[in-house]
Structure 1
Amino acid sequence: MKKTIRIGTRDSELALWQAHTVERKLNHLGYPTKIVAVKSTGDLILDVPLYELGITGIFTKTLDVAMLKGEVDIAVHSMKDVPTALPKGIVQAAVLERADVNDILVHKGNDNFFTDTATIATGSLRRQAQWLNRYPNHTVVDLRGNVNTRLKKLSENEWEGAVFAAAGLERINLLPENHMVLDWMIPAPAQGAMVVVAMENDLYSQTALAQLNHKPSEIATHIERQFLKKLEGGCTAPIGALAAYFDNEIRFEGVLLSIDGTERLHIEKVLHAGEDYSNFGSECAEEILKNGGAELMEKIRAELKK
């Protein structure tokens, strides 16, 4: 008799969509499942910017605890929310095929965001820094909450726009007509990807999930997260990374910025077919660190401690 795989998830609409997607795929393979929804600290504390909470993996910790206590067997996450170092006893079991990686600006249907006085909302240091680097005279305000909450706050305030991940809005059919793709903004490492984790000793769940793994997405997100891990050293920082396949090449683009966007360190590299990708992300990060990144990371850490 097959055991029922208990799928842990946050209880937001987007998180539940992701969990049900994994559930359908497992059910199709003949595995019985059950959804177990929990509320994370990141969903409960909405009046403080994420970086001020000083917690790595604020959206995943609650599910980590539920897994370690044996309350759920696997957990589904937006991969960009997952710390680069998983808790002891928990392993990455599958990366699903990646969706749209882009950030988008949801706006009020006019061109006011190109003026000198525009106010743009985002809860992400990475988005804030890249926006201010491009539009230094703009004001960026904090925006927290799940996708639905953030869209509602945008409609209720006089901001010109707010930045979202395209994949999140597309998945739950909330992509407004009034939006533009920010193709110049380098996404968060693993943005648009869903990851499923399991207990290291749970070979049954790992075997089931291995059948959902999308190798190209796994490789690309590995490179991006390795770049992040090497740069940040456990510190939240404005870091963007994107690895993508083109004609049997992996093209990588990474960026590290100061929080106010005035400093920007950028790298682009190509890995050819057949070359070892296992340390590619670290090598790109090393290049950034040697070219001013180490000093910039120290400044960022000092600023975040204030």
Structure 2
Amino acid sequence: MIVGTRGSELALTQTNYIRKHLFDLTGKEVETKIIKTTGDKITTSQLYNMNSKGIFTKELDRAVLEEEVDFAVHSLKDVPTELDEDLEIAAVPIREFPNDVLISNYSWDDLNEGSTLGTSSLRREAFCNLHEKKLELRPIRGNIGTRIQKVLNGEVDVTIMAEAGLKRLGLTKFIKSRFSVDYMTPAAGQGALAIITRKDSSVKATIRKLNHYVSEQAVLAEKTVLEELGIGCQWPLGSIARIDNDQIELYSILLAQNGEILHKGTLKAPLGEAIELGKKLAKKMKDFI
């Protein structure tokens, strides 16, 4: 088997995690093929100022379609809500914590008005405005290590990242604090991985053995809200599904860039009805877009 991946340290770490589990299952090594994506080539633009649909995934998915590789590993939040008709998410491995975390020499409460926030996330910018932090926005791109270094060097006072990436790279020592998912609601699918295959792939059944059903149901609910609303990172949307006693509780919040809450809602459904739950919540939110 051959896996396609981006060349960043995080992408390779995530891919090697999957390769190890497949080796444990099959006893066979998986070859890695690094593929550069559009998002890797463009480093100077805010993502929400450009057509970012599939910006970190489409070249990898094309390689899967053309059978250059057998499957691709993505951060699930980067996966477009509409895949090519010949592709599918064959597995969602167990999800890491979906929370956002603070990277700073200062505590969140001690940040003064005018402190510089390094981010290219419209969602994170909007949540900072919602909580009236009055931070000065500085666009920041690059891999996790680069963004951490910019904080340590004093180029920006603070940045906000997904906890999952830091944990996978063993960089949790740089986390100043963790935000609750209610205070700063994550992007749909944050913290999860998606393994993409062709629908007719001979390796799909093997890949499927890596699926974690509870994680899959949670991210299905979250991503369905995004799909039904038909929005990408051009709108600040946070969405989180929590599962308890075979019930999914789905919470989504839609903000304006200035932090105004346009709509928020919570719905519950039995485990196994993730897509229907996401559709119901999105229907309630559509009038606010």
Q: What is the TM-score normalised by the length of structure 2?
A: 0.93
Q: Supply the distance in 2 between the matched residues of 1:270 and 1:63 (Cα, whole angstroms).
A: 35
Q: Supply the distance in 2 between the matched residues of 1:101 and 1:73 (Cα, whole angstroms).
A: 28
State, as a whole percentage, how many aligned pairs show the same letter: 33
Q: Cα distance 1:159–1:91, how it changes in 2: closer, same or farther (>3 A)? A: same
Instruction: Give the CA RMSD over aligned residues.
Output: 1.8
Question: Do residues 211 (structure 1) and 209 (structure 2) align?
Answer: yes
Note the C-alpha offset of 1:167. 0.4
Question: Do residues 173 (structure 1) and 173 (structure 2) align?
Answer: no
1:221–1:243: 8 Å Cα contact kept in structure 2?
Answer: yes
Which stretch of structure 1 is more off in the superposition, 204-213 or 137-146? 137-146
In structure 1, the partner of 2:83 is 86
Question: Do residues 102 (structure 1) and 99 (structure 2) align?
Answer: yes
Describe the SS at the equivalent of 2:31.
Answer: strand
Number of residue pairs matched by the alignment: 286
Of the three residues 146, 150, 156, the one matched with 2:143 is 146
In structure 2, the partner of 1:302 is none
In structure 2, the partner of 1:254 is 252
Equivalent position amino acid for 1:245 in 2: I
Q: Supply the distance in 2 between the matched residues of 1:111 and 1:89 (Cα, whole angstroms).
A: 45
Note the C-alpha offset of 1:116. 2.1
Note the C-alpha offset of 1:88. 2.8
Of the three residues 224, 227, 242, the one matched with 1:226 is 224
1:112–1:160: 8 Å Cα contact kept in structure 2?
Answer: no
Equivalent position amino acid for 2:209 in 1: Q
Q: Supply the distance in 2 between the matched residues of 1:274 and 1:155 (Cα, whole angstroms).
A: 43
**Which string of whole-angstrom CA distances, capped at 9 and with x for unpartnered residues, describes residues 207-250 of structure 1?**
11111010001111100000011113467311110001123321
Q: Supply the distance in 1 between the matched residues of 2:10 and 2:190 (Cα, whole angstroms).
A: 14
Describe the SS at the equivalent of 2:274.
Answer: coil
Q: Supply the distance in 1 between the matched residues of 2:176 and 2:279 (Cα, whole angstroms).
A: 34
1:112–1:118: 8 Å Cα contact kept in structure 2?
Answer: no
Q: Supply the distance in 2 between the matched residues of 1:235 and 1:114 (Cα, whole angstroms).
A: 26
Describe the SS at the equivalent of 2:173.
Answer: coil
Note the C-alpha offset of 1:277. 3.3
Q: What is the TM-score normalised by the length of structure 1?
A: 0.88
Note the C-alpha offset of 1:90. 1.2
1:129–1:238: 8 Å Cα contact kept in structure 2?
Answer: yes
Q: Cα distance 1:289–1:110, how it changes in 2: closer, same or farther (>3 A)? A: closer
Of the three residues 3, 13, 18, the one matched with 2:14 is 18
Q: Cα distance 1:159–1:264, how it changes in 2: closer, same or farther (>3 A)? A: farther
Question: Do residues 161 (structure 1) and 167 (structure 2) align?
Answer: no
Q: Supply the distance in 2 between the matched residues of 1:82 and 1:257 (Cα, whole angstroms).
A: 22
2:238–2:253: 8 Å Cα contact kept in structure 1?
Answer: yes
**Which string of whole-angstrom CA distances, capped at 9 and with x for unpartnered residues, describes residues 134-157 of structure 1?**
125222222111111211222234
- Name stretches of at least 5 consecutive residues in structure 1 with no aligned partner: 298-306
In structure 2, the partner of 1:301 is none
Q: Cα distance 1:201–1:243, how it changes in 2: closer, same or farther (>3 A)? A: same
Which stretch of structure 1 is more off in the superposition, 39-48 or 273-282? 273-282
Note the C-alpha offset of 1:126. 1.0
Q: Supply the distance in 2 between the matched residues of 1:277 and 1:54 (Cα, whole angstroms).
A: 28
**Which string of whole-angstrom CA distances, capped at 9 and with x for unpartnered residues, describes residues 105-131 of structure 1?**
101145675322222121111111111
In structure 2, the partner of 1:196 is 195
Question: Do residues 76 (structure 1) and 103 (structure 2) align?
Answer: no
Note the C-alpha offset of 1:67. 1.6
2:118–2:159: 8 Å Cα contact kept in structure 1?
Answer: yes
Describe the SS at the equivalent of 2:18.
Answer: helix
Q: Cα distance 1:39–1:261, how it changes in 2: closer, same or farther (>3 A)? A: same
2:61–2:196: 8 Å Cα contact kept in structure 1?
Answer: no
